[in-house]
Amino acid sequence: MDSGSNSENQNSASMNSCDDKPSKIKFQYDEDETVTESSNLEMDEDTAMCDPASASAAVDDSMVGGDKTSADYYFDSYSHFGIHEEMLKDVVRTKTYQNVIYKNSFLFKDKVVLDVGAGTGILSLFCAKVGAKHVYAIECSSMADMAQEIVKLNGFSDVITVIKGKVEEIDLPVPKVDIIISEWMGYFLLYENMLDTVLYARDKWLVKDGLVLPDKASLCLTAIEDADYKEDKIEFWNSVYGFDMSCIRKQAMMEPLVDTVDQNQIVTNCQLLKTMDISKMTSGDASFTAPFKLVAERDDYIHALVAYFDVSFTKCHKLMGFSTGPKSRGTHWKQTVLYLEDVLTVCQGEAVVGSMTVAPNKKNPRDVDIMLKYSVNGRHCSVSRTQYYRMR
């Protein structure tokens, strides 16, 4: 795997590669670019939800060490141009949004649009260019000042109003908006908890039957063989120049790794864990427990589970969206790797079954607590375990 990286506001790319009766749908980046094919899902509202309090309670501060978290530097991190450069250069991400807007201009023409977490203002510029009546671009970091200058440089000062501040604290000059657009997704879909901000804006300002873009997001899971990298990143701490540093190993195991997974590492099917309808869901729906059954497609070892997400814009003339899965074109989100304490030896057809509980950390809600329960009962391996992780 490649080394990990950081997440702004992706082109019609490949969609859902989860297993829930997928139908083949083709998505296109541009007329002059190649078409990427992938599996897309017709996904019902996920009913596998329960109280996630046990996961949050189990992952206490003493287990993962220290109080400094993403909440301490979240907005400051988005003040630096480097993170915006990375996101803008993510062709899957940025071209998807551009195509959604440019190829569906009828949705935006003469409409009032709210851009939540505007960053450099790129989504606002796209909307203004296709004829939006007005765009309100909210950005809390100091990048708002640069966005204001960018709007002026491109001649859209009469159409785009940049508002610097937190969505929960600012007032809009209008009572309602027709469309809310945002690139709110973090690593593991939910890291940084920006979804709550989008839902707050939806409930406060969106007109009845208004649009939220994107409107669907799903989290998926698969399992991989990853002996070499686990040895390098995790087992390394057992003996460092002859010294026992295994206490760090314990923490390293609890911190999911954001990295690029080679599709050849995949040992099992990919399974849908959770689908969220952003236009209808509540904040609490982002906390859930979902069962999974990952069936081995070959004889191999399993060292980690891998999570990724898919996003779709279902209100477009043609379905558009992208996947961050290991079988799709790479994005800056990469995938999220959760290493297992056990090395699972599986034969083709044997299953790893369990459940994943996901919830915002109670103390620092921009962090994500994950409780993973898994078991396998095969010819060469019989294991049952519960592990805890925190995205921070």
Express each pLDDT in 178-213 by its tens digit: 999 999 999 999 999 899 999 999 999 999 999 999
The residues annotated as belonging to the active site are 183, 192
Residue 62 identity (one-letter amino acid): S
pLDDT at 158 over 90: yes
- Given a cut of 90, whether residue 28 has pLDDT beyond it is no
Separation CA 321–CA 303 (nearest Å): 30
pLDDT at 277 over 50: yes
Please tell me the distance from the alpha carbon of residue 10 to that of residue 160, in angstroms, as a whole number: 22
**In the predicted model, is pLDDT for residue 11 greater than 80?**
no
Please give the model's pTM, rounded to 2 decimal places. 0.82
Q: How far apart are CA 14 and CA 184, in angstroms?
A: 19
Residue 48: φ, ψ to 5°: -85, 75
Q: What mean pLDDT value characterizes the chain?
A: 85
Candidates 322, 219, 220; CA nearest to 276 is 219
Tokens 């009962």 belong to residue? 377
Residue 47 pLDDT > 90: no
Instruction: In whole angstroms, give the CA distance from residue 24 to residue 20.
Output: 12
- Would you say how long the chain is, in residues? 392
Give the dihedral sign, CA 130/134/136/142.
positive
Q: Which residues contact 192 (CB under 8 A, 6 or more apart)?
A: 7, 70, 74, 186, 366
Instruction: Return the ∠ at Cα 187 (arms to 184 and 191), rounded to 5°.
Output: 70
C-alpha 110/C-alpha 122 separation (Å) is 19
Task: Give the residue-averaged pLDDT of 349-361.
Answer: 98
pLDDT for 392 beyond 60 = yes
Q: How far is Cα 172 from Cα 136, in angstroms, rounded to an integer? A: 8
Strand ranges (E), the chain: 23-28, 35-40, 112-116, 134-139, 160-164, 177-182, 206-213, 216-224, 257-259, 271-277, 288-295, 300-313, 320-323, 335-346, 351-360, 368-377, 382-391
Task: Examine the pLDDT at 93 and tell me if it is beyond 50.
Answer: yes
- Give SS3 for 19: coil
- What separation in angstroms does the CA of 377 have from each of 79, 214, 344, 351? 49, 40, 10, 8
φ/ψ region of 27 (left if φ > 0, alpha if ψ in -120 to 50, else beta) reads beta
184, 197 contact by CB (below 8 A): yes
- State whether residue 195 is helix, strand or coil: helix
User: Among the residues of the chain, which ranges form H helices?
Assistant: 53-58, 61-64, 74-77, 81-88, 91-102, 105-108, 122-129, 143-153, 195-205, 227-233, 246-254
Say if CB 174 and CB 184 are below 8 A apart: no
